[in-house]
Structure 1
Amino acid sequence: MRLKERILVLLICITCCLLCVFFVITTRLQDPDSYSRFIGGVNLNKLSERAALPLLNQIQKRFLYKHMSQELEPNQKPLEGQLNTNPLNTTQVSAKYKYSEIDSEKSTNNIIIKKDFNNNRLESNAYNHIDEDFTDLLHIIALQTRSDENSKEEYPMLAEVLGIIPETNLSSWEVFHLSVLQNELYSEMDANIKSILNDMSSLPIIHITQKDGGTQLKLIIDYINGGQALFKPMRFPRDRETDPNHFYFTDYERHNSEIASFHLDRILGFRRSPPVIGRVLNMSSEIYDLADEELLKTFFISPANNLCFHGKCSYYCDTAHALCGNPDLLEGSFAAFLPSKELAPRKIWRHPYRRSYHKRRKAIWETDPTYCDKVVKKTAPYDSGRRLLDIIDMAILDFFIGNMDRHHYETFKHFGNNTFPLHLDHGRGFGQPYHDELSILAPLTQCCVIRQLTLKRVLSFTQTNQSLSRLMRDSLSADPVNPVLSEPNLVALDRRVKIILQSIRDCISQRPSEEVIVFDEF
């Protein structure tokens, strides 16, 4: 053979070898039944445990550092429209999460609160053994009391940071926006919250448009005084439970969950959720007559002669899932708009305990009980400051309401990293009163740390006549659409108080109490 022919044959052989290697690696990475993960040409299955684990830990940490604090593009709306594709299409899972998701078939046993993490759907009687005498926790807190505990630092309002001097004739929305604090959305004694709630439930509406993006129908309500609210309609009765065959990312949103979550956030002392109230609208005069052209195209008369509409969104926006008057009325939740992003820009963070949003795969934290110590606590902004404690607070709120749909969160940029995360989007809560989703508490049970003020507040719910169900019942009684929650959902709150406190007990049995219960002035 001539030299050129030999070179050509050699090149063909090399190309075939490379294609075979590429095919094998691609197959191994994509095969859900394979335990192999090839990284840089190394098969981790054939490495010793001592050699493989550090390499995996570095990959997890690099991924988390890259994506956890990443700001999204301006046209992205993850909190309202993160899942714009059909969740049942598994091929649409983003490739950038490849190493953050592990097939559920390969998950190892993960013990959370002495339960098998692979069996998250435990029945509500799983904690009947809990000792309801929590004086041991009260005693630990008493020993940690500091002399300067009541001398709280004063934190600036948004108006001060922006150098704005508030006028005297501001609307309740404008007062709310300029009064946002660095450490909370509104102060405990803020009388304007009652004013904005009253305005949302009673002021005349002048215009209605559909909110762009999002997985389900939401309307933007414009009031006569310039205020705006986000309207989520009532889909089904209070006592309708979540279909157990629905994934957490495909279930209906509940308007009453938004209302109840605002009240619960306030009772817990967080005050990080915008004001929400219920209201009943007239389908003809308050929606149809005020709707914009695009929304009007989706209106029709049902066979029962009721006025209906469905809007446009990713799920449940079609004739089969239309919203109809009963007979001409529609109930919903109204959430006050936050300050505009021009006035108070916000940063979007990827939640460190985000789920996989996949039918068969789990996120790393669902299979690795050491995820918090190995990854989260070593990654900014969770390695210092208040942020990790805020994530624990958020997990406690989500556990109370049963919300598994927490993929991102936002903070106000003007306050830097030393500020609170906003508590938004609670529509997928209060759907399973007889089931306690223990995996929601993973940030608490894995990191084993809690703010002392939060623990004190949860402990207060064990006192006579101060149960959480009673406080919620009293708080919700002022809402125009009360009763907001069914009685089983109220009873579930008291049961979950005990589960949270038992989780803290378990942490203290494993670590020094001063590491678990942290004094924090926020």
Structure 2
Amino acid sequence: MKLLMRLAVVALGSCLIIISIGLIDQLPLSRSPLERTRLPAKRLLIKANHSREHSAQLGADQQHERDLRGETGSEADRGDLAPGGLRVTRPGGPSPSPPAPVKLTAVRAYLDMFQWQYKPALAQRRRRRPPQTLGERLGWSRSNLTSAQQFWWDISPEALYPKHSEAVPHLIKEMASLPISAIEQKTGGTQLKLIITLQNEAEALVKPMRFPREQETLPNHFYFSDYERHNAEIAAFHLDRLLGFRRASPVVGRMMNMTSDLYALADDKLLKTFFISPANNLCFHGKCSYYCDTGHAICGSPDMLEGSFAAFLPRTELAKRKTWRHPWRRSYHKRKKAIWELDENYCEMVQQMPPYDTGRRLYDVIDLAIFDFLMGNMDRHHYETFRMFGNDTFLIHLDHGRAFGKSAHDEITILAPLYQCCLIRASTLQTLFEFHKGRKLSDRLRDSLSRDPLTPVLLEKHLVALDRRVDRTLQIVNECLETNETPEAVIYNDVLV
């Protein structure tokens, strides 16, 4: 009897082992925290990455994943496939297949429904009384104000300036043409910035040209050690306006004379850094954390220098600003990763924290992420708001000098707030879709930048990249809509508010 019982136990154990093995075979393979966090973006990345110029980027991502799993060799080493899964075109061989069309079925369906509500809701919204501006709150009179003060007067809880601003064009014209009366270096910051006072006593923050437009981010440079580009500041202002945000301070390009505009008017501290280069050009380097030395000097060519002139925001005694740590801030470290890069549920934690748990703030952060992604700007560690408007106000879009550095690379992690939260404003989505189906963003930005004194501000490859990134953003939204039960779970209809 005991022998029979033992045989029965052994047989039962064998059956359980066989069943367990079968169940394990049906379970999905576990992924590392990094892979789980980026899974939605990676899936869209593969769908979107049909163009030849992005195959190398995707291949590098895939090769990195294989390295993490301990696999050796690349797809290109194991056959005629290029990195990213594209067939290599040998000399004399067949042409590569054309890029697959972008499918945005869920986005189109929502916007078709949205159009029925949009026009009447927008008309009703326009009849509402606009919120009080900064000038109204301060009790200013609009008469006898300078262009800069007119710009400040119009600042509201919704934007830095209204859609049809009269002050901004006048301010831009003055910054581009009025004589310079004084110049000093701005304290703080990692790279050189100048404060220039114009003849009418208005001030502008100036970033001088360091490198030609053809020079992009160096391959071995981290995002936090990249050079700042003056033309990126100019392009960012125009892009922000085309997106309908109007949260970036007005910026214009201008040519400066190294001798009469800078050397003759510089204060003593800045003047000590001027020198004559071996090429007999006048140069200076100022004092800052990065690239302020003789080897990274700013020189005239031969005596002229480009610069971006950004309008100053109101002084703190008029309108105090609050600085906030960006919830999707990068680690700014060579080896460490930020929490949001490792935690797939990070957005749920953010949504429980004030001021992201209510109101417009989280949607503003997602707008900012889309704005940064279109420009390729990874350098976003803090943001600011005006204290007088409380928490229910826009984020000020500041400091875009490290944008437009990699025309052939789309850094999808910049969109982490979008693909981790799966939230977006209806107005932002509609604007992006109009760029997709109608006149392209590249064409609109090219036309807008053509009016700047330093045109062409951007090279064509950076303009082309904008259209590609618009489509990739829309694909993420499309997948969010497909994976959620209702569009309302993803899209906040701000037009009906």
Using structure 2 for the length normalisation, give the TM-score: 0.80
Counterpart of 1:143 in structure 2 is 113
Provide closer, same or farther for how the CA distance between residues 117 and 308 of structure 1 changes in structure 2, counting only shifts above 3 A: farther
| Residue pair 1:108, 1:368 contacting (<8 A) in 2 also | no
> Is 1:489 equivalent to 2:465 in the alignment?
no
Counterpart of 2:331 in structure 1 is 356
Runs of at least 5 residues in structure 1 that lack an aligned partner in the other structure: 1-104
Q: Matched residues in 1 for 2:215 and 2:432: separation? A: 28
| Residue pair 1:275, 1:336 contacting (<8 A) in 2 also | yes
Counterpart of 1:189 in structure 2 is 164
| Residue pair 1:370, 1:446 contacting (<8 A) in 2 also | yes
Q: Which of the pair has more CA radius of gyration?
A: 2
Give the partner amino acid of 1:442.
A
Q: Matched residues in 2 for 1:118 and 1:148: separation? A: 35
User: Which range moved further: 177-186 or 150-159?
Assistant: 150-159
Q: Matched residues in 2 for 1:106 and 1:408: separation? A: 25
Counterpart of 1:510 in structure 2 is 483
* From 262, 265, 270, the counterpart of 1:287: 262
Deviations 1:305-358 (A, max 9, x none): 111100000010001101111000110101000011110100000000000000
Q: Matched residues in 2 for 1:156 and 1:455: separation? A: 27
Counterpart of 2:38 in structure 1 is 111
Counterpart of 1:232 in structure 2 is 207
Deviations 1:105-127 (A, max 9, x none): 984542343518999xx873459
Counterpart of 2:440 in structure 1 is 467
Q: CA deviation at 1:516?
A: 0.7
Q: How does 1:222-371 map to 2 (within 5 A)?
A: 222-371=197-346
Counterpart of 1:207 in structure 2 is 182
Counterpart of 1:396 in structure 2 is 370
Deviations 1:81-117 (A, max 9, x none): xxxxxxxxxxxxxxxxxxxxxxxx9845423435189
Q: Matched residues in 2 for 1:365 and 1:469: separation? A: 31
User: Which range moved further: 157-166 or 501-510?
Assistant: 157-166
> Is 1:444 equivalent to 2:418 in the alignment?
yes
Q: CA deviation at 1:190?
A: 0.5
Counterpart of 2:155 in structure 1 is 180
Q: CA deviation at 1:169?
A: 2.2
Counterpart of 2:131 in structure 1 is 155
Q: CA deviation at 1:131?
A: 3.9
Runs of at least 5 residues in structure 2 that lack an aligned partner in the other structure: 1-31, 59-83, 85-97
Counterpart of 1:431 in structure 2 is 405
Give the partner amino acid of 2:455.
N
| Residue pair 2:234, 2:457 contacting (<8 A) in 1 also | yes
Deviations 1:396-444 (A, max 9, x none): 0000000000000000011111100000000001010000000000000
| Residue pair 1:278, 1:333 contacting (<8 A) in 2 also | yes
Identity of aligned residues (%): 55
Q: CA deviation at 1:150?
A: 3.0
Give the partner amino acid of 1:148.
A
Deviations 1:265-298 (A, max 9, x none): 0000000000001001000000000100000010
Give the partner amino acid of 1:387.
R
SS in 2 for 1:347: strand
Give the partner amino acid of 2:475.
Q
Q: Matched residues in 1 for 2:379 and 2:100: separation? A: 28
Provide closer, same or farther for how the CA distance between residues 107 and 446 of structure 1 changes in structure 2, counting only shifts above 3 A: closer
The higher-RCO structure (CA 8 Å, 6+ apart) is 1
SS in 2 for 1:410: strand
| Residue pair 2:33, 2:343 contacting (<8 A) in 1 also | no
> Is 1:124 equivalent to 2:99 in the alignment?
no
